[in-house]
């Protein structure tokens, strides 16, 4: 995997406390799919402005420069899984997230988010 690629999330997240889950903006009362910690962590970094290598460096810093030997392999595996699930997209250039993906659901202006999401759906038909 090319770690110089940027990555951005393609799903709307809900963050309640330290729990990250996927949410349907149109049906927020439906049961939410709670994410495994590694998936949630990578999705939080998936802002379109970070590369996979930047993610690795940021997580390495959390271990004071002595990360577990399998950290890179774990990150690459999680990124690959999220790409397969279409929760993140890899790009060669930095990408600005649309408003409705830029913040957790709880922080969004829901009317604005729904309006922009609908407009983007029409554009991409």
Residue 111 burial class via C-beta count within 10 angstroms: exposed 0-12, middle 13-18, buried 19 and up: exposed
C-alpha span between 125 and 123 (Å, rounded):
6
Contact 67, 60 (CB under 8 A): yes
**pTM for the whole thing?**
0.86
**Residue 88 confidence (pLDDT):** 96
Q: What angle do CA 78, 83, 85 make, to 5 degrees?
A: 95
Dihedral of alpha carbons 14, 46, 26, 119, sign: positive
- Enumerate the β-bridge partners of residue 22: 13, 33
pLDDT digit of tens for each residue in the chain (125 aa)? 899 999 999 999 999 888 899 998 888 888 888 899 889 999 999 999 999 999 999 999 888 878 888 999 999 999 999 999 999 999 999 999 999 999 999 999 999 999 999 888 777 65
Contact 92, 3 (CB under 8 A): no
**Residue 1 confidence (pLDDT):** 87
**Residue 29 confidence (pLDDT):** 85
Backbone dihedral angles phi then psi of residue 24, each to the nearest 5 degrees: -90, 115
Task: Give me the CATH topology for the region 6-123.
Answer: Outer Surface Protein A; domain 3 (3.90.930)
């Amino acid at each position: 995997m090319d770690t110089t690629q940027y990555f951005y999330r393609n799903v709307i997240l809900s963050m309640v406390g330290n729990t990250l889950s996927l949410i349907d903006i149109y049906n927020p009362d439906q049961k939410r799919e709670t994410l495994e910690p590694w998936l949630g962590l990578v999705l939080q970094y998936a802002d379109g402005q970070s590369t996979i290598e930047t993610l690795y460096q940021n997580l390495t810093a959390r271990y004071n420069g002595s990360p577990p030997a399998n950290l890179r392999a774990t990150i690459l595996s999680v990124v690959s899984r999220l790409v397969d699930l279409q929760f993140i997209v890899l790009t060669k250039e930095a990408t600005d997230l649309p408003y409705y993906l830029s913040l957790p659901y709880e922080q969004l202006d829901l009317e604005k988010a729904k309006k922009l999401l609908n407009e983007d759906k029409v554009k991409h038909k």
